[in-house]
Amino acid sequence: MKKAIALLALLAAGEVAAKDVVNIYSYRQGFLIEPILQEFTKETGIETKVVFAKKGLIEKLKKEGKYTKADMVLTSNFSALLQLEDEGLVQPIKSNVIEKNVPKQFRDDEGNWVALTKRVRNVYSSKERVGKLDTLTYEDLAKPEYKGKICMRSGKHPYNLGLVASMIAHHGEAEARAWLKGLKANLARKPQGNDRAQVKAVKEGLCDVALGNSYYFGKMLNDPKQVPWAESVYINFPNQQDRGSHINVSGAVLTKHGKNTTNALKLIEFMTDNKAQSMYASVNMEYPVKTDVEVSELVASWGKFKEDALPLTKVSEYRPLALKLIDEVKFDL
């Protein structure tokens, strides 16, 4: 038995990296990035291998140290990019192509990370009971008029943490805490489910407004079961009269000890280029970081909007504090 196990382990470990391959740790579901990866393989002949997990990949990478097989990491939010950088798990991405494709505010000065797509933290409102909210701000959500009307997912989810951190960045800790308390008091139910489930709850009349990322609005229209959910709400871009809506990004890093860095770099370049960027825009309904790539027709129909210009690096400085505040006001309990 032990021999058999040893043999199995050897077999598994013995799969030496093939010549043209890139190994990816991905926080994004396989089926989201699959079409782009297939296109990449078609163009370059480089095979892609993915390990997807929702949690813990960074820790795994850290423990593997210099023997890791992962060449790059794809993240679904900005905090993860910075964490990878902080933990010293990355190497600089040096590429003229990427520098040309990605605007300065969406990549690290040293090239430690690069953003690939943008998404907005929107407020969805019930067509029937609320109507369109063109002048709404995130700050308004803590006002008494929304008591018992708001649905959202866990405050600890990276998308909400990012928003809370941006509130701290703009208003300071004390005011952000008060806002968080007000928001909690306005929740129609304990934070639960994912972003789509919040829209569903609005459809069902459990609440009138919900927080959610922009691309879910498009994705719901692709699933027959979810079309009625999407059709029951308006998508609103908060804070258009002042600083603009809060955005987050998905992105990529090169791992420090990857064995196929050249291939990984090629893939990241590919992901910042027109074809992949427009695939992101059409398949995942996200906003491309490359400025001359058109958003999909559907996304364009939601209208142009103003982005919060505060640099993401600034926002994420407050992420640890945001988490502390969420525990302090027992937001999820």
**Does residue 12 touch another protein according to CB under 8 A?**
yes
User: 79: left (phi > 0), else alpha (psi -120 to 50), else beta?
Assistant: alpha
Whether the Cβ atoms of residue 264 and residue 82 lie closer than 8 Å to each other: no
Whether the Cβ atoms of residue 253 and residue 74 lie closer than 8 Å to each other: no
> Residue 205 or 303: which CB sits closer to another protein?
205
CB of 140 to another protein, least distance (A): 23
Rounded CA-CA distance 284/305 in Å is 19
Rounded CA-CA distance 86/313 in Å is 12
Return the residue of 39, 41, 52, 298 that touches another protein, per CB under 8 A.
Answer: 52
Q: Which two tokens stand for residue 227?
A: 């079309």
| Vertex 24: Cα angle to 23 and 30 (nearest 5) | 125
Q: Which two tokens stand for residue 181?
A: 């308390």
**Does residue 227 touch another protein according to CB under 8 A?**
no
CB-side neighbour CA atoms (13 Å) of 30: 7
Return the residue of 223, 231, 242, 294 that touches another protein, per CB under 8 A.
Answer: 223
> Residue 64 or 307: which CB sits closer to another protein?
64
Q: Which amino acid is at 49?
A: K
Return the residue of 37, 40, 68, 236 that touches another protein, per CB under 8 A.
Answer: 68
Q: Total binding residues for another protein by CB under 8 A?
A: 56
* Binding to another protein, residues 197-216 (CB under 8 A): 197, 200-201, 203-206
Return the residue of 196, 246, 266, 290 that touches another protein, per CB under 8 A.
Answer: 196
Residues near another protein, by CB under 8 A: 1, 4-5, 8-10, 12-13, 23, 29-31, 49-57, 59-60, 63-65, 67-69, 83, 154, 156, 161, 189-194, 196-197, 200-201, 203-206, 223, 320, 323-324, 327-328, 330, 332-333
